């Protein structure tokens, strides 16, 4: 989708930032293999993590996720 964007950064850990600027539609992102910890979503952030995802993740409208592996 043109209003969705994802970027991955690799250092000591792999960090992925996913953004969805669409006003109405949820965006699906296919993740690289492995289990990812959600560090932040559109309303909350926690260095201990908000949950885990793998394979595919959805980002609700006008929101984003920060993931770490």
What tens-digit pLDDT sequence spans the chain (69 residues)? 679 999 999 999 999 999 999 999 999 999 999 999 999 999 999 999 999 999 999 999 999 999 999
pTM: 0.91
Eight-class DSSP state of 58: E
Eight-class DSSP state of 61: T
Q: What is the pLDDT of residue 2?
A: 77
Q: What is the pLDDT of residue 1?
A: 67
For residue 59, what are the CA distances in angstroms to 8, 15, 23?
A: 16, 16, 12
Locate the DSSP E strands across 2-69.
Answer: 4-10, 14-20, 27-30, 36-40, 52-53, 56-59, 63-68
């Amino acid at each position: 989708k043109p209003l969705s964007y994802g970027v991955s950064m690799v250092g000591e850990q792999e960090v992925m930032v996913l953004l969805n600027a669409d006003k109405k539609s949820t965006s699906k992102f296919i993740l690289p293999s492995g289990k990812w910890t959600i560090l932040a979503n559109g309303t909350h952030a926690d260095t201990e993590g908000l949950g885990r995802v793998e394979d595919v993740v959805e980002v609700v409208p006008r929101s984003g996720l920060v993931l770490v592996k």
